[in-house]
Amino acid sequence: MTASTVNLIDLAGQRPLQIEDLPREVDNVRYELIDGSLYVTPLADYEHQDLVLKIAMLLAAKNPQGSTVLPGVNVILGSQTIVEPDVAVVDPAHLVHDGLGVSPKGLLFVVEITSPSTRRRDLTIKRQLYSEWEVPYLVVDRSTSPHTYAGYGDLPTWAGVVLPDR
C-alpha cells in the first residue's frame, strides 16, 4: 500500500471522506468514493482493458454530436461521491471541480465491465446510483461465458453498437 492509501484509510476511520481528500494523480489503483466510503481497486486485467477499448471505439463512431466518449472519467456528485465508470459518453458542458470530472447530469450513457474485484459493486450500488441519476447503463458481466450484456434504463439507439449480435 502506498503512503497516500494508508493515510486515506486512517482518515476514513475518523470521518466520511471527501473528494478533496483523494490524491489527484495515482498509479495502478482506482479510488472511488460513494457517500464518503472509500473503494480502492487495482487496475483491471488485460481482457477488461481490451473490452474497454473496443467498446469505447464502437461508441465513438456513433455517439451524439457534442458528446465525448471516455474510457474512464470521474463522475462527481457533491463532496463525498466520485465513481469512475469503465466507459462513459459525456456532455463536456457539465464538467465540475475545475475539469476533474463530470456531474451526473453530464452522463449520457455508462458501461461497466465486471472484474472479480468490482463485480458486486458494478451490479449493485453503482447500478443504483446510475438509476437514481437516470443514466442509461450497460453492464458486461465477465463471470459468464459468453459474457452477459444487460442494459438498464432507456438505452439510446446509438448505444446498440456495443451489444453482441443475437
Model-level pTM greater than 0.75?
yes
- What the block records as the C-alpha cell of 57 is 471505439
Contact 114, 139 (CB under 8 A): yes
Is 13 a domain residue? no
Determine the pLDDT at residue 62: 94
**What's the pLDDT tens digit per position in 117-135?**
889 888 999 999 999 999 9
d(CA 160, CA 73): 21
Domain count, the chain: 1
Is 80 a domain residue? yes
| Structural domain of 93 | 44-162
Is 9 a domain residue? no
Dmax (CA) of the chain = 50
Determine the pLDDT at residue 2: 52
**DSSP reduced 3-state for 75:** strand
Phi-psi region of 72 (alpha: psi -120 to 50; beta: other; left: phi over 0): left
CATH number at residue 114: 3.90.1570.10
**What's the pLDDT tens digit per position in 49-86?**
999 999 999 999 999 999 999 998 999 999 888 899 99
Is 39 a domain residue? no
